[in-house]
Structure 1
Amino acid sequence: MLELLHIENVAVIEQADIQFRPGFNALTGETGAGKSIVIDAMGAVLGGRTSRDLIRTGSKKALVSAEFSGVPTDLAGLAECGGEPDEDGVLLLQREMDADGKNVCRVNGRPVTVSQLRALGRNLLNIHGQHDGQQLLDEEQHGAYLDRFGRLEGALESYRRVYGEMAELRGQMDALKMDEAEKARRIDTLRFQIDELERAELRPGEEEELLERRDLLRNGEKYLAAVGGADQCLNGDDERSGAVSLIQEAENALSHLKNRNTRIEEIWERLEQLRCEAYDLAETVRDLAGEFDFSPEELDEVESRSDQLYRLKKKYGASVEDMLEYLDRSRRELDEIETADDMLARLAEKLTKAQKAVSAAGAELTKARKAAAAELEQRILKELRDLDMNRVRFSIEFTEKEPGPDGCDTVRFLMSANAGEDLKPIARIASGGELARIMLALKNVLAEQEQVGTLVFDEVDTGVSGRAAQKVAEKLAQVSRRKQVLCVTHLPQLAAMADSHFSVEKGERKGRTFTEVVQLDRDRRMAELARLTGGSKVTDALLQSAGELLDEAEAYRRTL
């Protein structure tokens, strides 16, 4: 369960430490005091989407920490982030948000990504927001709810695997299908392109070689003059000796003294090494001069080939390698088109088998869904009766459809809110209060199937009042005996039923708005309940009524 929520510089909350308790925790406060900010902070530390606007004005960063206790070592998501609870089963999640958009997330001090934090967080705490009830109006979500309840992930994955194979086969067949005129045009185009590229006799690396040779040919005289000059300096000519000969003469001049003086011997050895290196260099330069064989005809050929490659690149690719790759693709496409009829026949046989596999997997999935639906209907009806909706009928309808990624049937939740009325889609007949209670019932049922230990309800009482509000309060108290419940509420019935009551209060200090969260004792709870009931004017009668409400709630909790 969530033991401690630490918040720094989040919106109007400069700093707050909220120590939640086991059971039912209620948060109340004036509108705009910052109750939703507490929920936003929870969502942030669980890896939810955040905005820079969440950071308190004037602060460079915001920090949220959440400490959970009783965390099992095999909790889903722990292995992926490399974290684990300590020896007492405590797990600390942290998220630091900078004004420049950067996030630093940690699990027990170990850095993790936001996505890893999100995967772990969804198994620790479940937030039911103010508008979640509207999801019931989206019939595309109904099948997902049913699959979650029935734990049909395995059956759904098996179906999606064979459906994916069938969809891939259909895609391949669609790619091969074209009318005869289009087919003939495409074959002509491919043959022309293949012939043009084959006649070009392209070679990998050819373009680079051409550019280098063209530069050499265009500057032939400069190259010959430079290499000839270097050759003359090294090898000499009829009028003067070259560097090799002069070094040889210096070496000979010292040779008869090398055995008499150590320093002269060292100089002679260096001259010998220098002569050998100069000789090798002179030979290399002489060979290079011999390689420079230029002709105007070769330059014309190189220029012509370069122009040909340039024209081809404009049509088939940015480089010779790209053009060769295009040629391979064109050959494959031509082969596929010319053999398309045979390939279509083979794919049609595979598609028939794949369709049978999809039908079989879809039938198994539908069977499993209908079994789960029968149980879910009974569970939802039981929950709704507990929520003072005794006359409501709830049913799950299956309609066969063409196989799709989510199965071969459409799932819809139907209900009848009044006696004698036909079952109809929830979107057409449910009021706001009914939607809130149906969603609460569904959340409670689904929560029993999950590892999550903490349920958060952000104004689950929207559209609910009177007797229905009391039933919602009792239901949350029942749920809190199995899982920790945190509830943001404006209803005194829900706040009174809580085991622990927190007040979110806004004030002003040194010209800045701030929010703090405080746990209330009985006297302050009575004052807060009186405010929730009567507004800003708290009378003795309201205080007495609040006390009676607390007593009744305590008596009910003792029966659980």
Structure 2
Amino acid sequence: MLQELSIKNFAIIDQVTVSFEKGLTVLTGETGAGKSIIIDALHLLVGGRGSAEFVRHGEHKADIEGLFFLDKDHPCNKKAAEFGIEIEEGMMILRREISSSGKSVCRVNGKLITISTLREIGSSLIDIHGQHEHQELMDESSHLSLLDQYGSTEIGQALKNYREIYRQYDTTLKKIKQLKLNEQEMAHRLDLLQFQLQEIRQADLKMNEDESLHDERRQLANFEKIFAAIKAGYEGLQGEQHGLDFISHTMSHLETAADIDKQYEDVLESVANSYYLLEDAADKLRSELERLEFDPERLNVIEGRLNEINQLKRKYGSSVSEILEYSSKIEEEIEMLVNRDARIGELESKLSSLEDDLALEGKQLSDIRKKWADKLTAAIHMELKELYMDKTIFEPIFIKDAVNNSEFGKDGMDDVIFYISTNPGEPLKPLSKVASGGELSRMMLALKTIFSKHQGITSIIFDEVDTGVSGRVAQAIAEKIYQVSKHSQVLCISHLPQVAAMADTHLLISKEAISGRTRTSLTILGKNEKISEIARMISGVEITDLTKKHAKELLDIAYTIKLT
């Protein structure tokens, strides 16, 4: 959920910080107070297009910062990991600065990111829906994935099974296309690969050879220091008036003491063990001194070999292991090119078998989707009925037929577009072509009520989606928005008193002129303040005892509805 939003020097807002709660937060206020500016700021925070015009007059930059709390299984965690963004204690802080020159700086948890990255992360955090905006539900390319989300309990496994075969099918198809390139390209490709393979083989590389050579070069380059240190260490132990000689004298004295008193035997044994260990160490140091021999030619050989390996790295990989992996890969491709005709036949036979398997899995996936499409249709019609659109027909249309169409895609053999008809006798039309504002608002709310349970969006924002409705429809919309808030945090800008009455948190946006400058502020309303604000929304001009009574009645009705 969006926990806190901070806006500074943005449009008519000099500085505002507001905390949000779970459930439904309604923002109200007079026209022009700055309600939509809050939505504009949120839109920019999640990657919307910026402009220098957003910077408050006379200021150098505008700052927008939002704190989000995420569940462990929220999809944004995975996206953040892909971009190397660390999330601690489920907190994600988005920050965007827009300078007066129009330049934008974006950060997530302090890490600088691009606008496109911010947009990708923001898409799973906030979904902003205004009356004339077409978001995910209005994007026809997303309808298939929305259906899959709705029926994920059954569709998910069928789609996984299909994709496992599709990956093999797609890889095989690419290999066939590559082998069927014209003869001249194949010949050039074969010559290049054979040259590369010969060059790598002639080098006779050994796994981790470069690392071993670097270690040996380091030893040779420091030969004098190593030799001097080992020699000094040996001389410190061996010879008269040195370490072992002193310990030998100590042992002799302790033996005398132990012969007289047995309590000194343990000390004698410890010293004796240390003596023999040091004596072994001295022998090893002597052997090492005899073995060490500086070979300047060997250093030249190592430098030459490392230079040869580095040249291969520039062409074929960043390490010896990557070069050897590349060698194996092109060796396989050479074999495939040399035996091209036979290989094409094998792959085409494999492709045919995979097509049969894909057709079966695709048909099964399509059947499951159609079953869930029927369930979705029934659920949408139920929601629309509650919004007094019982005459509206909704239907997911399958553009591709899984039986008669052999075209395979990574998501199956289906393409789905949501169609509706809002008036009896009118033909079904794509949802994206619906023009009526009031009908579109209710349609979107019906869809949001269902899909908010499956999308995992942190916050859903409705910007005056209730425009153009009143009476019983207004009450139905209020209840529907509240239902959406049970599954996702909802922020709603509204002019409807019915919607304001359903709020878990009511924020009043107001503006005032201070020292010749306009200033916008946000205030969390208490119970009595809610009554006054809702009364203002009802009357429009003068607040009377009757409008206050009506406002209190709306709040009581809302409270009763929330308990059911």
> Is TM > 0.5 for Structure 1 vs Structure 2?
yes
Measured in 2, the distance between the counterparts of 1:455 and 1:170 equals 42
Which residue in the other structure is 2:168 paired with?
165
Q: Is the 8 A contact 1:470 1:494 kept in 2?
A: yes
- Post-superposition Cα deviations, 1:93-149, rounded to whole Å, max 9, x if no partner, equal 43343435333332xxx7686789877766665443444556555433221211121
Q: Give the SS at the match of 1:396.
A: strand
Indicate whether 1:513 and 2:518 are aligned. Answer: yes
- Post-superposition Cα deviations, 1:517-546, rounded to whole Å, max 9, x if no partner, equal 1234566556655665666xx1356x7446
Cα 1:95–1:52 change in 2 (3 A) is farther
Which residue in the other structure is 1:539 paired with?
542
Measured in 2, the distance between the counterparts of 1:142 and 1:157 equals 18
Aligned counterpart in structure 2 of residue 459 of structure 1, from 440, 458, 464: 464
Cα 1:64–1:164 change in 2 (3 A) is same
Cα 1:59–1:186 change in 2 (3 A) is closer
Cα 1:52–1:547 change in 2 (3 A) is same
- Post-superposition Cα deviations, 1:490-549, rounded to whole Å, max 9, x if no partner, equal 3333234334322222333334333211234566556655665666xx1356x7446414
Measured in 2, the distance between the counterparts of 1:394 and 1:413 equals 7
Q: For 1:246-257, what aligned pairs fall within 5 Å after superposition?
A: none
Measured in 1, the distance between the counterparts of 2:19 and 2:193 equals 74
Measured in 1, the distance between the counterparts of 2:119 and 2:537 equals 35
Aligned counterpart in structure 2 of residue 83 of structure 1, from 87, 93, 116: 87
Measured in 1, the distance between the counterparts of 2:75 and 2:186 equals 55
Which residue in the other structure is 2:149 paired with?
148
Indicate whether 1:15 and 2:11 are aligned. Answer: no
Which residue in the other structure is 1:48 paired with?
47
Q: Is the 8 A contact 2:26 2:494 kept in 1?
A: yes
Deviation at 1:359, TM superposition (A): 1.5
Q: For 1:51-200, what aligned pairs fall within 5 Å after superposition?
A: 51=50, 53=52, 54-57=54-57, 58-60=59-61, 62-66=63-67, 68=69, 72-73=71-72, 75-78=74-77, 80=81, 81-85=85-89, 92-98=91-97, 99=99, 101-106=104-109, 126-133=127-134, 136-151=137-152, 152-177=155-180, 183=183
Is there any run of 5+ residues in structure 2 with no aligned partner, and where?
A: 197-201, 204-311, 316-322, 324-328
Deviation at 1:442, TM superposition (A): 1.4
Q: Give the SS at the match of 1:408.
A: coil
Q: For 1:245-324, what aligned pairs fall within 5 Å after superposition?
A: none
Quick one: which amino acid aligns to residue 354 of structure 1? L
Percent identity over paired residues: 34
Quick one: which amino acid aligns to residue 48 of structure 1? G
- Post-superposition Cα deviations, 1:255-289, rounded to whole Å, max 9, x if no partner, equal xxxxxxxxxxxxxxxxxxxxxxxxxxxxxxxxxxx
Cα 1:111–1:333 change in 2 (3 A) is closer
Which residue in the other structure is 2:214 paired with?
none
Q: Is the 8 A contact 1:5 1:67 kept in 2?
A: no
Q: Is the 8 A contact 1:61 1:96 kept in 2?
A: no
Q: For 1:129-528, what aligned pairs fall within 5 Å after superposition?
A: 129-133=130-134, 136-151=137-152, 152-177=155-180, 183=183, 339-398=339-398, 399-400=400-401, 401=405, 402-421=407-426, 423-427=428-432, 431-451=436-456, 454-481=459-486, 483-521=488-526, 525=530, 528=533
Say how many residue pairs are matched: 428
Deviation at 1:24, TM superposition (A): 2.8
- Post-superposition Cα deviations, 1:330-361, rounded to whole Å, max 9, x if no partner, equal 99999866643222211101211221232233
Measured in 2, the distance between the counterparts of 1:143 and 1:539 equals 50
Q: Is the 8 A contact 1:44 1:64 kept in 2?
A: no
* TM superposition score normalised by structure 2: 0.62
Quick one: which amino acid aligns to residue 392 of structure 1? T
Deviation at 1:16, TM superposition (A): 1.4
Name the stretch that deviates more: 422-431 or 157-166.
422-431
Cα 1:472–1:352 change in 2 (3 A) is same
Measured in 2, the distance between the counterparts of 1:467 and 1:365 equals 41
Measured in 1, the distance between the counterparts of 2:94 and 2:527 equals 34
Name the larger-Rg structure: 1
Measured in 2, the distance between the counterparts of 1:528 and 1:344 equals 75
Which residue in the other structure is 1:551 paired with?
553
Measured in 1, the distance between the counterparts of 2:454 and 2:330 equals 55
Measured in 2, the distance between the counterparts of 1:552 and 1:189 equals 79
Q: Give the SS at the match of 1:461.
A: coil
Q: Is the 8 A contact 2:532 2:543 kept in 1?
A: no
Cα 1:38–1:156 change in 2 (3 A) is farther
RMSD: 4.7
Deviation at 1:55, TM superposition (A): 4.6
Is there any run of 5+ residues in structure 1 with no aligned partner, and where?
A: 86-90, 198-202, 205-318
Measured in 2, the distance between the counterparts of 1:21 and 1:82 equals 24
